[in-house]
A and B are shown apart, each in its own frame.
Chain A
Amino acid sequence: MADILTVTNVTKKFGGLTAVDNVSFKIREGETLGFIGPNGAGKSTMVNVMSGYLTADSGKIVMQDIDITRKKPYERARLGLARTYQIPRPFLELTALMSVIVAVLCGKKRVNQSFEDAAGEATHYLEFVGLFSKRNILARDLTFYELRMLELARALATTPKLLFIDEVMAGLNPGEATKAVDMIVRAKEQFGLTVFWIEHVMAVLVEAAERIIAILYGQLIADGTPDEVVNNDRVIEAYLGKGWRDYA
């Protein structure tokens, strides 16, 4: 499998705090890569650096032979990089349909596509995530689960190659969480995506990811299959503390 994204020695500092410290890894095309770490480990900073919201102090990010380290978020989106947010960030004053139309119109240049054509395409993504019946409802009136699905539809509408999913399980009840995970797996298969999945719930990633990387205090501490990472002493220590063996 070819690499879709290569992160090389990326460092990001906020004043005296090093949030991401010399991190390097590769995302292979078509895989689901899990990204774990305890609170404050630097996961969200890493995603923000990769999606262009923050600029890396040093290091390089290459997406399919294109250096995107200094590219702006909208340029990265047009290259095929989409993301969802840990706390949904819908366009509150727009309907579900309008929110997705924007992504269709701006995500990638399409020849001969009018506003109305974009609306037609947007309904396809809304139907996929199960929000077709809610297409004319303002985003502020949707439930939390529906907002998560709207974010997914919006991200899919940009026709991404690589999708960053930021803690999709947060705030969902078990039934909704199962549906959300199934939806992501289906989206990956149907749209041929590569998924970079940040998650706190290990059980989900062990099930869904082919590979997992772990981060602690901004440094990469593990990279391997779910089994390898789950049994890695440094990962267990990061989550349970140094004296975990005494209680095991």
Chain B
Amino acid sequence: MVDVEIKRDRIVIRAGGKKWDWMIEPRYWRNTLYWTIGLLLFPLIAYFLSPGLINTMVAANIYAAIAIPLSLMTVGTGRINFGPNFYVGIGGYTAALLSIHLGWGPIATLPFAIILSLFAAVIFSPLVIMARGLYYVLLTLLLPLVFLEVTFIYTGIFKGDVGLFGIELLVQFENAKLNFLSAAYISAGIMLLYLLITNKVLKSRYGLIMATVNDDEDVAHGLGVNIAKTKIITFVCASGMIGIVGWFLAHYFGTFAGITYLPMTYMLKILLVFMVGGRAQVFGCVVGGYFVAFLEMILIRTMGQFQPVAFPIILLILLFALPRGEGLFGLYRRRHYREYMPTIHVRR
């Protein structure tokens, strides 16, 4: 029996022996709503002004949609995963192989992409309990690289060198611009959904429990927090979320190549989004995603062949120049402090 009670500032939900309060006071969500509206209007404006920008926006949404679960994973496990793109590969290859060999569409491949990402995460989840520090970094760093090698070794299945072709597209209008526009809205939808879920989780009791695991897991253990359960659930769920991004990429481009998403360069881009936006700050991931995607695009257009050199240099300068650990979002937050929970900083 679920009992819902609406009060002035909150919705109270009771189910079984549990009770949840959902704060609906405007000051907690007003700014988020304004930014969301801006984000949703952007592709529409770009559609009429410069359709090329829509592609950049899709890339930004993808970066953010990987970095948001990565933030959740970082807070909940107290460790930074250096191989989030491994799950992009799992989700993408699952969708691609099912679509090519069985002729399945995006809706049919989605549950399998999620299940296989979750399954892979469950297999590797003991890492979050057994390994910490440099060992965890090395092990997670190796996963996508080993997977990349596998795609080359079993090239008959994965087409490691050229990638898989002929995946059913997510949307198929006759107008290519409309295809881009709908992909932009789907990617924005995924990213905003992740933002909503992650933000809600981090502001709840589970978020607080994750924060204690991130801060001092031994003390949290002594206070009654089941740290193994917390870490594994966070790791597996966040990995599943990243797997969905892989599914989207496969069906958006109609091709999927491990060589694009599994190497160090792609992973470093995600980690830069994570760091430039603000470590483990979910809203920072969006800021970081857009910043990195648009900076990349501007540099390609203005600097041409020097872009691969200038891009990391600018980002490295930013990492040093921005407030430590707070990133670009930290600059905004300093002026607009409206949260009722403190920011969770990553200490490892």
The residues of A with any CB-CB pair to B shorter than 8 Å are: 51-53, 72-74, 77-78, 82-83, 85, 89, 91-95, 98-99, 101-103, 105-108, 111-118, 138, 154, 158
Contacts and interface: CB of A to CB of B under 8 A. Distances in A.
A95 B212 CA distance: 11
A89 B18 CA distance: 30
Given A74-B222, A91-B211, A98 B21 contact: no
Contacts of A111: 17
Contact of A112 (B18, B212, B341): B18
Contacts of B19: 112-114, 117
B226 interface: yes
Contacts of B31: none
Contact of B223 (A107, A114, A118): A107
A-B pairs with the 4 shortest C-beta distances? Answer: A106-B224, A77-B224, A91-B215, A114-B19
A158 B10 CA distance: 27
A48 B244 CA distance: 43
Given A94-B212, A112-B18, A115-B208, A102 B220 contact: yes
A105 B17 CA distance: 14
Contact of B225 (A74, A93, A116): A74
Interface size range of chain B in the complex: 20 to 34
A94 B21 CA distance: 21
Nearest to A138: B342
Nearest to A102: B212
Contact of B216 (A77, A89, A95, A113): A89
Contacts of A138: 342
Contact of B205 (A91, A93, A118, A154): A118
B224 A78 contact: yes
A138 B344 CA distance: 11
B335 to A, nearest CB: 19
Nearest to B13: A114
14 contacts: A52-B222, A53-B222, A73-B221, A74-B225, A78-B224, A91-B211, A92-B215, A93-B211, A93-B214, A101-B205, A112-B18, A113-B19, A115-B21, A138-B342
Interface string B198-227: 000000110011011011101111111111
A85 B220 CA distance: 13
Contacts of B253: none
A138 B214 CA distance: 15
A18 B212 CA distance: 33
B216 A105 contact: no
B342 A94 contact: yes
Given A102-B212, A102-B220, A93 B17 contact: no
B157 interface: no
Majority SS at the chain B contact face = mixed
Contact of A106 (B14, B18, B225, B342): B225
A115 B18 CA distance: 10
Given A78-B224, A154-B223, A93 B209 contact: no
B223 A103 contact: yes
A151 to B, nearest CB: 9
Interface string B310-346: 0000000000000000000000000000000111110
A138 B212 CA distance: 13
Contacts of A52: 221-222
A10 B211 CA distance: 34
Interface in B104-156: none
Nearest to A51: B222
Interface in B1-56: 10, 12, 14, 17-21
Contacts of A53: 218, 221-222
B177 interface: no
Contacts of B209: 102, 105-106
Contacts of A89: 216, 218-219
B208 A101 contact: yes
A111 B14 CA distance: 11
A89 B223 CA distance: 12
A115 B205 contact: yes
Nearest to B14: A112
A101 B221 CA distance: 14
Nearest to B12: A114
B347 A93 contact: yes
A108 B12 CA distance: 22
A93 B343 contact: yes
Given A102-B223, A106-B225, A117-B19, 16 more contacts: A51-B222, A73-B221, A77-B222, A77-B223, A83-B222, A93-B215, A94-B215, A95-B342, A98-B211, A102-B209, A102-B212, A112-B18, A114-B12, A114-B19, A115-B204, A154-B223
User: Looking at A52, A74, A116, which has the most chain B CB atoms within 10 Å of its CB?
Assistant: A74
Contacts of A95: 342
Contacts of A117: 19, 21
B225 A91 contact: no
